[in-house]
Structure 1
């Protein structure tokens, strides 16, 4: 099978195998990595250096002759003093060959076939480099600039990164041909060779193999000259090298076109999803939402095919829920104003009865007395009302704003990193002692059904403490204890995490580097309040739809994993 056939016959794998990059916190960008096309690029390079990308030509001068010519040229350059005499490079031993070579190819150490010019580099410090910018073009990792009068190197040379994490993770090519007039610092190896095409093939080879066996250091990976010189290189005839480079350029251009095509399709898909979901949020009431939803549901399997689109659907569900457009209103539910009146009366009685022994109750009474009438965040349905968050709370307190002393075992402390997407994360818990817990929780010990809300890093995350749990309130968080007789804590959680509440709250956020909300701004958040029975209906509907979204995402993950495995299987088969 030719390389082009390998691409075209498995096109659905290369374009369909994707990896979803999740970012932490609300407003995740849902970025996608085109894993299949990335694998395809790796496959092209691997086929190239194994001699499987282009056909061999028996008329080509064998690589053994090329090796003799390189040895003669190196001896001449050493004699003329242009390069240093290379230190002994060991012969390639049996078993070191990475794969079988085609006839007319040869194995050779990197150091025996290249001319190293590292001694001509300029190891300048940052301050020295800034003073010499007018004289030299600097090469670090991003390329060079042409047409500079004063220079060290004035011919195409191969530059290979000497240190940095990219030696291992290979997020970008580790080597390339530098052209123009430039100087190089001591973070890149400078390699010359018998021709520019020869250097081009070496660059392709270095970028196709793992360099980990030749790297020292972990905190700061480094590949020194001695290690680099020992890399075994499968060397084709010089004429075949050129054919390989041309074929790789052709196929990489094809990959570029595939990426552009897939990118355009994803962008068009994103616009379509945004438009349809926007139509949902602009629906006048639950009945119109149902009509628009019916149109979307006809194409559900083709619309919500990425994690980003499913996440947007989840955000739309939350928005519709708190706008009163997810379930129909029922006039028999009674107005929310009456609910708020009863809530305020019962809260006043409870706070008055506890203010003498609990200073937080006295603080709540003082703050409630100063409140103005809340402005609704948007047009509310008939029977709904708006209230400040503190008005819906029995107690609302800020945390002890210091980092707690941790212990190996004890009571878990909820930090901002432990709350994501309305849930607690238990993968990185810290613990405090009973003594620390008592002091850190002196204002109000957290209880089940309390809501923990983050003011910073990130702001706007929230979760409900589950039954049977004992938690300590961590730094940059607030504890909200709803008036549960009148407010469904699950509904309040939805209202605190719907996408536009954070947008509105962000207008008041302070901080030049890390934005955060002040305690008073959180207390005065405007919450849309439906009657209690409607709150319960909203929570049930949201749970139903979120479960559907989770099922979609799980199936999507299974399909993506299968496609990725198939792409890897095709790669393994092609190079075997």
Structure 2
């Protein structure tokens, strides 16, 4: 089997690895089902580009005109452009040392400085008075913000351009971030966030486009700056790149196009499968919540429990199951409630709701810390999310934290507003901030059952629907809204405790599912990485 057939088989025979290696970006918030990265397909795309620039994607033909002849022709054409006054005379670039060559090239290929392969035109931003959004002048691209997958979108026009890119130039982002590329399909003005890479001697634009993606990490390593990283013209021109024969460049472009289209299909199919899976889970879990009686609930649960291995295969589906368990608990469907009373939250409080206190952080260690919002965002208190303050807090202040205190976030990004945690042990030296409220349960309700009730989906929706704040301000809930939360309360505190224990047991099983899932996902990610290493 030839090397190229081996590479093709490596790609096509491992579709299950490429599509099943999925990395979670975040496990929090509403709408979190989309917070995933199709890691395997991302690695496959990177592998295709890496193989392309190493000469491992298509077979070489010894009859092809070698790349050295192409580079000689490019040098001659550049000299002619200088003579005609179309470009400035470029500085002679240094010879490429052996240390700069990251891998061995096939026969007929050559290493080249980028500045010897293309003409590099660095952008220059015109004064703001010369550009507009009214369509006057020529299109003006400023940087990565204008990029799409291949061609940029026009947002601004310029009536007095300084630097131009032409149809067929590759646009390279050289400033915050460094490395992304697009292709110019029009004559346009380019700002200082971009450079235009102009093909010479019929070198295909798309090869330069793909080549720059293949060498992106090398270019990124040249970037400097604190607020905004950037690369200079010298960095861009000195970049060492691999040049195949001209005919092979076109073959590589066709092969990369073919394989990227395959990646697009895999991505669409995987996303469609994940969406369908999520819809199925949502529909089936909704049947539990909407069960009319105990018999109906048992029947619906039996239908789901027989398919646990196929239903709960993503973190989001397990999170949905946890939320359903909470909702069933506060509806009396996990443990029968017995006698109940319908009350408002204010009827169940011995203290609060009362806001905390936010003091200015100090840069030195003190004996006092105030919690950050992140300390109470994920169901358990995390005191690492706190900061030192230098304040005199009276020993009898409500700000100190004691076991069975419940902290509720009254202001944050919307998905965290209303989230709560219960303090389970002494927290000496910590107070809570102004964007949290504290409450304590009275004798009618178990503190842990109160926290569970506040965490249930119906309570969270109640609070979300009553948040105040515009698009420019942080959404918040008021003390009055929290006090008005409706609660269906089992009168028996023993039953309340049984419900908490039942939820804890079921959540523990959910956590076991998550741990097994995490192990499986890690294995898939490692497999994807191993396949890439094997190919290279």
Unaligned stretches of 5+ residues in structure 1: 331-382
- Hey, what's the Cα distance between the residues in 1 that align with 2:133 and 2:488? 61
Residue 26 of structure 1 deviates from its aligned partner by 6.1
User: What is the TM-score when the length of structure 2 is the normalising length?
Assistant: 0.90
**1:182 and 2:194 are equivalent in the alignment:** no
**1:449 and 2:461 are equivalent in the alignment:** no
| Contact 2:175 2:193 survives alignment (8 Å) | yes
The C-alpha deviation readout for 1:314-353, integer Å capped at 9, x for no partner, is: 11111111111112345xxxxxxxxxxxxxxxxxxxxxxx
Residue 393 of structure 1 deviates from its aligned partner by 1.3
User: What is the TM-score when the length of structure 1 is the normalising length?
Assistant: 0.84
1:480 corresponds in structure 2 to 439
Bigger CA radius of gyration:
1
**1:422 and 2:424 are equivalent in the alignment:** no
| Mapping of residues 288-299 of structure 1, within 5 Å | 288-299=296-307
Q: Of residues 527, 535, 542 in structure 1, which corresponds to 2:487?
A: 527
Which segment is superposed worse, 127-136 or 544-553? Answer: 127-136
Taking only aligned residues, the RMSD between alpha carbons, in angstroms, comes to 2.3
- Hey, what's the Cα distance between the residues in 1 that align with 2:427 and 2:120? 65
**1:226 and 2:219 are equivalent in the alignment:** no
The C-alpha deviation readout for 1:433-489, integer Å capped at 9, x for no partner, is: 5x53328x6246432111111111132111111223233122211111112x43111
| Mapping of residues 39-50 of structure 1, within 5 Å | 39-50=43-54
Q: Of residues 236, 259, 263 in structure 2, which corresponds to 1:255?
A: 263
Residue 197 of structure 1 deviates from its aligned partner by 4.3
Q: 1:405 to 1:258 in 2, by over 3 A?
A: closer
- Hey, what's the Cα distance between the residues in 2 that align with 1:27 and 1:491? 26
SS in 2 for 1:115: strand
1:157 corresponds in structure 2 to 169
SS in 2 for 1:468: coil
- Hey, what's the Cα distance between the residues in 1 that align with 2:458 and 2:127? 49
| Contact 1:17 1:35 survives alignment (8 Å) | yes
| Contact 1:144 1:179 survives alignment (8 Å) | no
Residue 412 of structure 1 deviates from its aligned partner by 3.6
Unaligned stretches of 5+ residues in structure 2: none
- Hey, what's the Cα distance between the residues in 2 that align with 1:546 and 1:221? 45
SS in 2 for 1:314: helix
2:346 corresponds in structure 1 to 390
- Hey, what's the Cα distance between the residues in 2 that align with 1:132 and 1:396? 55
Residue 153 of structure 1 deviates from its aligned partner by 4.8
- Hey, what's the Cα distance between the residues in 1 that align with 2:315 and 2:201? 48
The C-alpha deviation readout for 1:127-148, integer Å capped at 9, x for no partner, is: 42117741111223321569x9
**1:213 and 2:209 are equivalent in the alignment:** no
| Contact 1:395 1:480 survives alignment (8 Å) | yes
The C-alpha deviation readout for 1:115-135, integer Å capped at 9, x for no partner, is: 2333xx552244421177411
| Contact 1:404 1:474 survives alignment (8 Å) | no
| Contact 2:350 2:440 survives alignment (8 Å) | yes
The C-alpha deviation readout for 1:12-58, integer Å capped at 9, x for no partner, is: 11000000121545664462110000000000000010000000011
Q: 1:451 to 1:45 in 2, by over 3 A?
A: same
| Mapping of residues 189-338 of structure 1, within 5 Å | 189-195=195-201, 197-209=203-215, 210=217, 211-330=219-338
1:364 corresponds in structure 2 to none
| Contact 1:175 1:206 survives alignment (8 Å) | yes
| Contact 1:25 1:421 survives alignment (8 Å) | no
The C-alpha deviation readout for 1:71-98, integer Å capped at 9, x for no partner, is: 1111111111111111131100122101
- For this pair of structures, how many residues does the alignment match? 511
Q: 1:2 to 1:251 in 2, by over 3 A?
A: farther
Residue 254 of structure 1 deviates from its aligned partner by 0.5
1:544 corresponds in structure 2 to 505
